[in-house]
Structure 1
Amino acid sequence: MRLLAEVFPVSFQKLPSLYAYRPVAEAGDFSLIGKLLYELHRAFPTGHWIWHREWILSDYRLEEAQKWEFLERLWQRQREVFSPLQNLELLPDWQGDDLARLEFLRRGMILQDLLTPKILLAQGQSFGVAKVLRWCELRPWVVEGRPSLSLSIRSYLVHKLDLWEFSQTSADLQGLVGLGVLAKDTFLEGRVGKVIGRLSDHRRRLISLSQEPWMQRFLERAGGEQWVVQIQTERYTYDYASGALYIHLRPRDFERFGLKSSLAWKALSMPVRLRIQLIGKVAALLKARGYLSDAYRSDTHPSCFPSLEELGLGRKVRLATGEEVEWGGTEMYSCIQRAGICGRSPFLSEEIRLGIVHFTRLSVKNFLYHLRQELKSFGIQSVLAFQTKLYTADFSKLEAFLERREDSHIFLYFLPRSSPLSQRNALLRLRYLTLQKSGGVPCVWVYPSGLRRRERLQDVVVAILVRTGHSLFRIQSEVGEVVVGLQRVFSPEWEGRRGYFLRAYSHEGVFLGYRLGVLEEGESWPALLGNWVERRIFVQVWGRLSQKERQEWEEFARPRGGDLLELMTKGAPRIYALRRGWVESPPLGAVFRISDTEAFWVSKTPPYGGTLAQPLWLRSEGGIERALRGMVPFCFLSGIRRFSSLPAPLLRGEEIGRLVEQGWKGGLGCQFPFWL
């Protein structure tokens, strides 16, 4: 078996000579750069023009007379915009580096000439109000010192109406706030934060801010009555014309727009053979231009595909007796049962109180008897705090019931298989509702088929134990003494203040607690770590830190040390396995190593047969191999059979973000790891 990544080494042999220009403006005012690029494209269309770092790069050389004639024309026709601009200096000694050439190739030569936003490689199916868009995304990388480009097919479920068209169907502008959106030019993802005003009042400002020719042309031609909205992304905010935005239909939006979740997920998935065919077409086009060579493969670039053994990643865990066993083995449950649990929950002083809710009329008396006996075999006593029979998927009744039942430690929901409650969105809502109304109490659901299977009984026992904070075994993480998961969260009630959700474990996997914190003016996020900083800390971050957040971390870590790992769930190109002429999903744990500080890691199996899972994109200045050895053991903590796609300190981050956005205030009097 060989591994292949959809990443291609780049050749600069066919790249034309580049020229760098430095805009000279009063008081260093570069707010006009986008508009200046737009005018350069119009005046000199045979050249390509991009803004990179502090330069305008182009393959067109402006002679002095041409330059001054161009600037004079700008000053005469648009003096209010370009009056701060004093000169556009050609830098004769500019050499540039590989990253500058790579960006010019990607944004100038390829995206402007070959792959414009109007060229979607393949339209997916349409159903209801939704359609699927397939887009080829190019990202620059430096793989082991060599400039490279990744070609990835991204699938998006969007509304058939764009945001401007959708806004005309209702007079309630507030209904736009919170909608997910995608920019039509760059496919930037975000959500609508607020409506700012009409495009007629913001056109010139938006053109001056934009650096993409397609967007500049759109803004020039769009009707002035369009709404301008502020888009919030993970790290920044942007202003966009509503007609330049698709409505991105996220899982949380399926119910609002009447979409069946099973159809939506199926439509978004792409067979691996179709994916590699589409990428092959784009790669062939770019290879014919002399821009790319063959993709990285494990037989041609073995150092980019280290094995788990080479990385020192094993699956050994330690039981209460000190014995080491292979995590996930068929005998693991009985091994833990014989050895006993490694540690009781620090948040329980007595037996586990089980809350039972029946949504099915089947008898569960025998199942509950064996469940309590199994818990007893681990040394854990349990009592039935209550039992109630709802028999219906009426969430309002469940909500009223949960508000009166805060004395339970965990809820068991017995669900019928053929029911609205069995849908993915309904299960997520069930979990949210339980956490919101019970103050942070976790839940487990059981279907009729699980009532007669011992394996499912064992899974429920394990879920009860780990979600109430018990430690079944000890892991060995090599990085830090306390491991903290850090995640940005948002709530409308915070009025723009930064909020974070933090989860802490010891380096052996013992759950220490979680915190939901909101920063006041002048505070930095490490202040939320509290007494966890008394020992050396390893922070695992959901997403990328902003420049400000990174500076706050560096100021915190400089005197006391610490390690930080950023995990991005989006943006990583996929990895393939090639076996006897067939293309298939790579093995769990496959790694594509970019550099000493960066890698892609396959952390889950694909959702459907014949498709590929999205790898994680990992970055750590302390060394990527060391960070992997510190992170991977935390993927064992959610159970004994299923390897979790994210480490426990970051598991179910997207769901928790949505929960906070809907008003959850954190655990009220209880601290259980409900995400396991």
Structure 2
Amino acid sequence: MKPKASANPAPQLFTEVFPVRLEGIPPLHAYRVLLNDAPAPSSQERRSFGGRLAARLRALLPGLWVWAGGALLTDSPPKTAVTAEIISAIIADNPQVFALLGGIEPIPDWTPTADTLVKVVIRGLIPGLAPQIIAALAATTFPMHNARVERQYRVQGYIIDDKPVVSLLVASRVIYAPTIRDQIEKLGKATALVGLRARVNLNGAEGEIVKAVGLVREQRTRLLSAAARASARDLISTADDESWVFRLDIDGSESDFVADALQLLVGLDDMAHFDVVPAQVDRALRLKPPERARIVKAVSDVLKDAGLIANAFSTQNAPDHFHQRDRPLNLVFGGGRAKPYDPQTTAAHIKALGDYWRPPRFSSEPIRLAVINTLSETSSDFLEALARTTERDFKLKLEIVRERNMRVLTPSNLDSAIRLVQKETIDLVLILLPNEASTPDEPGIEARYAKAQAIGRGIPCLTLYESALHRPEDMPHVVIGIMARSGCAPFILEDPVTSIPDYADLVIGLQLVTRQVKEQTILTGVTRIYRSDGALVRGLAASMPSDGGISDALLTAILPASIVSGRRGVIHHDGEIPIALAQALGGWEIETGGTFCPVEIIRSDAPRLYALQSGRIETAPHGSIFRLNDREALVMTSHAPSDTAAAPLFIRTDPEFSIDDAVHSILDFTVMHAGQPIPPKLPVTIHHADHIAQGIRRGLFPSRIDSASPFWL
């Protein structure tokens, strides 16, 4: 008798990562670049020089020319006389850039590495297919009212099983057709554009508008003196005196642009600000997994037809690279009692068993709240019900220290309100907002701005939408959110990472942000130090002048020896870890006797993970892991519904630290978002790091913080 098939068989997982077909790469020849006598260039300068030289050779000679692996590579080696003639012409055309160039010579017996080959594919072979890829992507778009949808693609390289592989990512943008001047006239004032996103026409960079700086006639001289490119100076020179200048935050760096240099981007969370058809924007941007997979397939088919890649990695062709977190996870509540983790039942367990720990002062003092109400209705009934529930079910008292009612919700009014309540002695600020499109992973524009203003000042903050005020079943989650931000520990992990031998005593979120103050560079360090069971030890921040390095004084302030000495700490870092930070941590290990295990958490541009379940393409379930190699993995931390194309996190570890342990530490600390039935996808160790960085750069963040409350939640 045949065994019965499982009612819910494990889905087939697959990725946006593809093996490179080595036979699709033509035979390559390598050349060494010879430089005239001069100070040896740095590795970064050499890469930049080699890349520029390869670009000039591509323009002047047939075939493929790429700078990779420290050498010039080509599939069409020219004769020696032709090479010398071309090099002379390159130097003569641009002596400023190529004055050091002495020539190029063949490298005998050269063999490419997997890393070199993947760079050849990305920098040389795939760009040659750009027209076909762009045409394939264009076929996936559709007409829109007052806007156009644009599909973009990006290729990244990795190494799996010592072989080159590439990921294919697609992104969608909705470009607003009316100009910024048109939008100002529609909304009534330039400051109404703060919080919207825009693209810089000159280079395609994208960022968030953080300030309406002023009129061009007031800013033209300053902008001209700062502009490096002739095209930028032309735009500034010809801009109308009454046109506006806006400040954009682009990947954490702020720059000013005239309005004519920008195009507005329409997002899911801000489409109400534009004259567009919401259903069209939703269709363009909210790609379901089958639609996203179809668009990626349009790109991959072009590369497959060219013989460059094979089928994507999946549980069928590479089962050893896929894993599902199966380690049971229990939470410990009041009295040391444990229950299985389930974000939907956590509030009920806290209500029944009590919270794990609370500051002793709350036995006699209330939690002190400031309330900012941006709604048209009064909040008194809700706040009274909130206070009753907190005292009756959680044995805590609330005190409303100050309530600020705001009838017109604008960024400037919200900013003023937060500055006002900042003067009060409070545990957190509660902000009531109108309903808007949002998800746990992607809050709406109003909530995002409100959190940025509060957290960017180091103020604990909880935002609530109007709909939550009318759902009594949400009240326990609201109370727990307040408790967590006030320094309580609603729960901890029963099965901490310390259960794995030699794993960690501490899990630490660390970020460094630089800010220019006149002629001085100020470096701010922020750490969120947790025990490995999820209990918060301290939140620390310090700002000090920097000459480019990371001083022992700063490390003393944010990684004090009293906490890290003799302990093993996992360092969660938002993005790639700079070399200077890695070196500083190595020195601080020697100084304190601690051990640091750096983990890079890269939240953007990670290839998607999909599940094929009963013939349907869905997002891979929470806890799905694609292990690329001993140092890199994709991990699905989002709890988003399976019909949304949520992105995983890309994780990279130190060579001496297990990628499996790193992944589990991230999944564990994603659990520590108390008070949210659907937790966000980022671990609490780096959650809202972007808001903190923005606050630092704007000069709003305190120069010193030593806190027992997680203001970053």
TM-score over 0.5 for the pair: yes
- Greater Cα shift, 275-284 or 561-570: 275-284
Structure 1 segment 68-79 matched on structure 2, within 5 A: 68-75=84-91, 78=94
Determine which of 451, 467, 471 is the counterpart of 1:431: 451
Q: What does residue 492 of structure 2 align with?
A: 474
Is 410-419 or 571-580 further displaced after alignment?
410-419
| Distance apart, 1:617 and its partner CA | 0.4
Shift of 1:327: 1.4
Q: Tell me: CA distance 1:12–1:398, structure 2 relative to 1, closer, same or farther (3 Å).
A: closer
Indicate the larger mover: 655-664 or 131-140: 655-664
Do the aligned residues in 2 keep the contact of 1:576 with 1:583 (CA within 8 Å)? yes
What is aligned with 1:675? 712
Which of the residues 465, 472, 475 maps onto 1:457? 475
The aligned counterpart of 1:314 is 328
Which deviations, in whole Å up to 9, do the C-alpha atoms of 1:121-172 show, x marking residues without a partner? 2375687886442112111111233321111112245566999xx9xxxxx9
Give 2:18's aligned residue: 8
Mapped pair 1:335 → 2:335: no
Deviates more, 1:191-200 or 1:458-467: 191-200
- Residue 540 (structure 1) aligns with: 572
2:509 — aligned with what? 485
In the other structure, the counterpart of 2:61 is: 44
Q: 1:547-566, aligned counterparts within 5 Å?
A: 547-557=579-589, 560-566=594-600
Q: Deviations over 1:486-545 (max 9, x none)?
A: 234454547544333322222222223323333422434645423242333221000111
Aligned AA for 1:60?
S
Instruction: Establish whether residue 616 from structure 1 lines up as the match of residue 649 from structure 2.
Output: yes
Are positions 1:503 and 2:503 aligned together? no
Match of 2:674 in 1: 639
* Structure 1 residue 369: Cα displacement: 4.3
The partner residue of 1:19 within 22, 29, 35 is: 29
Take 1:99 and 1:88, find their aligned partners in 2: how far apart are those partners? 22
Amino acid at match of 1:316: N
Distance in 1, Cα, partners of 2:124 & 2:148: 30
Question: Does the CA-based 8 Å contact 2:602-2:650 persist in structure 1?
Answer: yes
Which secondary structure does the structure 1 equivalent of 2:628 belong to? Answer: strand
Is residue 442 of structure 1 aligned with residue 461 of structure 2?
Answer: yes
1:214 is aligned to none
Q: What amino acid is aligned across from residue 582 of structure 2 in structure 1? A: R
Instruction: Please state how far the C-alpha of 1:636 moved relative to its aligned partner.
Output: 1.6
Give the superposition deviation at 1:305. Answer: 0.9
**1:296-307 mapped onto 2 (5 Å cutoff):** 296-307=313-324
Per the alignment, residue 54 of structure 1 pairs with 70
Which residue of the other structure, out of 405, 422, 426, is the alignment partner of 1:408? 426
More displaced, 47-56 or 356-365? 356-365
TM-score (norm 2): 0.76
Cα distance change on mapping 1:66 and 1:671 into 2, 3 Å: same
SS at match of 1:498: strand
Distance in 1 between residues matched to 2:15 and 2:321, nearest whole Å: 10
Is residue 660 of structure 2 the alignment partner of residue 625 of structure 1? yes
Query: Residue 111 of structure 2: which of 85, 89, 95 is its match?
Result: 95
Match of 2:368 in 1: 353
Kept in 1: contact 2:12–2:612 (CA 8 A): yes
> Which one of the candidate residues 124, 148, 158 is aligned to 1:141?
158
Q: Which secondary structure does the structure 2 equivalent of 1:135 belong to?
A: strand
CA distance in 1, matches of 2:49, 2:129: 24
Q: Which residues in structure 2 correspond to 1:99-138 (within 5 Å)?
A: 99-114=115-130, 121-122=137-138, 131-138=148-155
Is the deviation greater in 393-402 or in 369-378?
Answer: 393-402
CA change 1:398–1:81 in 2 (3 A) is: closer
Instruction: State the alpha-carbon separation in 2 of the partners of residues 581 and 318 from structure 1.
Output: 39
Render the CA deviation track for 1:444-472: whole Å, top value 9, x for unaligned: 4363x544544211111111111111011
Q: Deviations over 1:384-437 (max 9, x none)?
A: 435565555477666666526613323444556599xxx922233333445578
Contact 1:316/1:327 (CA < 8 Å) preserved in 2? yes
Q: TM-score, normalised by structure 1?
A: 0.80
- 8 Å CA contact retained: 1:440, 1:668: no
Q: 1:258 to 1:452 in 2, by over 3 A?
A: closer
Whole-Å Cα distance in 2 between the matches of residues 650 and 279 of structure 1?
Answer: 29
Mapped contact 2:172–2:284 kept (Cα < 8 A): no
Cα 1:330–1:50 shift into 2, 3 Å: closer
Q: Give the total of aligned pairs.
A: 634
The alpha carbon displacement at 1:620 in A equals 1.1
CA distance in 2 between partners of 1:602 and 1:362 (Å): 40
What is the DSSP-based 3-state SS (H/G/I as helix, E as strand, rest coil) of the residue aligned with 1:39?
Answer: helix
- Alpha carbons of structure 1 residues 75 and 506: separation in structure 2 relative to 1, 3 Å: closer
Q: What runs of 5+ residues in structure 1 fail to find an aligned partner?
A: 167-171, 201-221
The answer to whether the Cα contact below 8 Å between 1:505 and 1:511 also exists between their aligned partners in 2 is: yes
Question: Is this contact kept in 1: 2:433–2:446, CA < 8 A?
Answer: no
What is the SS of the residue equivalent to 2:670?
helix
Correspondence for 2:212 = none
- Name the Cα RMSD after superposition: 4.5
Instruction: Flag the 1:350–1:467 CA change in 2: closer, same or farther, 3 A.
Output: same
Change (3 A) 1:577 1:376: same
Distance change (3 Å), C-alpha of 1:619 and 1:75: closer
Which runs of 5 or more structure 2 residues have no equivalent in the other structure?
Answer: 1-10, 184-189, 210-221, 238-246, 438-442
**Shift, 1:590, TM fit:** 1.2
For 1:661, the equivalent position in structure 2 comes to 697
Task: For residue 329 of structure 1, report the CA deviation from its aligned partner.
Answer: 6.0
SS of alignment partner, residue 501 of structure 1: strand
1:23 positional shift = 1.0
Q: In 2 relative to 1, CA 69–589 (structure 1 residues): closer, same or farther, beyond 3 Å?
A: same
Tell me the amino acid that sits aligned with residue 322 of structure 1.
G
Number of the residue aligned with 2:620: 586
- Distance 1:74-1:283 versus aligned 2 partners, 3 A rule: closer
Query: Which amino acid is 1:482 matched to?
Result: L
Cα deviation per residue 1:284-324 (whole Å; 9 max; x = unaligned)?
Answer: 22222222111111122111111212xxx332112232332
Cα deviation for residue 661 of structure 1 reads 3.5
State the secondary structure of the residue aligned to 1:283: helix
SS in 2 for 1:540: strand
- The residue identity in structure 2 corresponding to 1:289 is A
Contact 1:488 1:542 in 2 (8 A): no
How far apart in 2 are the matches of 1:616 and 1:232?
23
1:442–1:674: 8 Å Cα contact kept in structure 2? yes
Change over 3 Å in CA distance of 1:182–1:487 after alignment to 2 = farther
Q: Which residue of 1 aligns with 2:337?
A: 323
